[in-house]
Structure formats: C-alpha cells, structure tokens
Amino acid sequence: MNYDYIELLVKESKNENEESKNKLIEEFKPYILNICKRTFIHGYDFQDIENECYRILFRCVEIYNMDTHRFVAYATNGIKNSINYLIKHSIKYKDINGAYTHTLTPEIEQSLKSDEMNTEELLCAKCDCEQLKYALSKLNKKESELIASIFFQGTTVKNYAKEKDLSYSTIIKRKRSILNKLFNHINITNSSDNNPKIY
C-alpha cells in the first residue's frame, strides 16, 4: 500500500467523496478478504464478516486524527481488534445461542430429568431451563422470528434482510438488541434468585 495515497483517500473520504471511499475499499479489500477467509463467527457468513470489516474501516475513517499519518496501522488494528471481539463474544455466548435453546421440546426436557443426573445437576439444569424459557417468553413475535430464522433455520442476515425488505445494518442492530434483551432477562432471573452472575 502507498501510505501517502491512503492518507489522501482518507482525507477525501472524510469529506464524503464517494469515489475516494470506493478506492479506499479497493485498497483494503485484500486485507479484509484475507481476514474473512480465516474467520468463523457463529451466526455470520462470509459476506456478513466482510461487511462488518468495511463498517469498521469507515468507522476508523470517521474518528481518525489526520495529524498522526498512520491510517493503515490504525485501520488494520481496528478491524482486527473488532473481529477478535466478535469472535470472543460469539464463543462466550454460544451456549445461550445454541440450536436447542430456542425451542425446548418435551424430549429435551425429559432428557434433563433423566435418572443419570444427580440431584445437583438436575436442579442446575432445571434452573437454566427455566431462565431460558423466561427470557424467550419475553420476545415478541418479530424478535422470535428473527432469532429462529438466523440461528436455527440457517438464514443469513443478508438473506433475512432481503426477505424483510430492510437494510442489512437494521437487521444487525435488531439482532444485537434481541440478544442483549435475552441476556438481560437471564441476568435478571439470576439476580432475583440471589445468585448474581457477572457477564
């Protein structure tokens, strides 16, 4: 990359020059595609990760201080750190977002009550089930539909956005908001059981 050229593109992009933004995308495309090929995030497909990288790139453009003359390092670190955060967040909450957490069928509940479990395991599993049921019951129809489509039916965020005739970023914001709502309800039930947990 020609660092001086990149600095010029960033300066023009800050002034809402669309051509400069497109050229900046082209300059960072190899780096972003390389990250996307090596990254797996639960609930995201390749294009979701790519779009997230470009979103981060332009967020870096917005807040970048032109006096530093180090945009390439600033942007690559910003993209890498944000993607790493998403990966860690995905791993941390994968059990909450797993394929069997949305619908608790009688078979699953029966397996939780199996004789193979000792009393302590049975009580913990029952508490987890109840907390999850409670959190899911607080979702409205639209929220429930989005979670079911993206996490359990394998629909990508991009396809869901097309299907609902909404922008990609709107669906991403809704998804994050719904997941936060679920986590908050689970935290509330934990706190009300006099067993607060820090997430």
Residues 82, 135 within the same domain? no
Residue where a domain terminates, one of 92, 115, 150: 92
Distance, CA of 55 to CA of 47 (rounded, Å) = 12
- 142: amino acid identity, one letter: K
In the block, residue with structure tokens 């935290």: 187
Is residue 9 a part of any domain in this protein?
yes
Confirm whether pTM is higher than 0.85: no
In the block, residue with structure tokens 């497909």: 45
Contact 152, 101 (CB under 8 A): no
Please compute, for residue 12, the number of CA atoms within 13 A of its CA located in the half-sphere on the CB side.
14
> And the tokens for 126?
């029952």
Residue where a domain terminates, one of 70, 92, 114: 92
Q: How many CB atoms lie within 10 A of CB 181?
A: 15
Query: Across residues 148-175, what is the average pLDDT?
Result: 87
Residues 153, 114 within the same domain? yes
Tell me phi and psi for residue 33, to 5 degrees.
-65, -40
Q: Which of 64-68, 108-112, 129-133 has the lowest mean pLDDT?
A: 108-112
Residue 15: strand, helix, or coil: coil
Residues 58, 15 within the same domain? yes
Name which residue leads in pLDDT, 133 or 6.
Answer: 6
> And the tokens for 66?
């032109």
Rg value, the chain, Cα: 21
- Provide the pLDDT confidence category of residue 22 given band limits of 50, 70 and 90: very high
CATH code where residue 13 lies: 1.10.1740
Is the per-residue pLDDT at 96 higher than 60? no
CATH code where residue 179 lies: 1.10.10.10
Is residue 26 a part of any domain in this protein?
yes
Residues 23, 76 within the same domain? yes
What is the end-to-end Cα distance of the chain in Å, rounded? 40
Q: Which of 66-75, 102-111, 146-155, 180-189 has the lowest mean pLDDT?
A: 102-111
Of the candidates 100, 110, 183, 181, the one whose C-alpha atom is nearest the C-alpha of residue 140 is 181
Distance, CA of 44 to CA of 53 (rounded, Å) = 12
Residues 74, 155 within the same domain? no
Residues 116, 144 within the same domain? yes
The residue range of the domain holding 175 is 106-192
> How many separate domains does the chain show?
2
Residues 172, 133 within the same domain? yes
Distance, CA of 22 to CA of 136 (rounded, Å) = 42
Is residue 143 a part of any domain in this protein?
yes
Residues 54, 22 within the same domain? yes
In percent, the amount of the chain with pLDDT more than 90 equals 25
Distance, CA of 9 to CA of 28 (rounded, Å) = 12
pLDDT digits (tens, 9 = 90+) for 112-146: 554 455 555 555 555 566 776 777 778 888 888 88
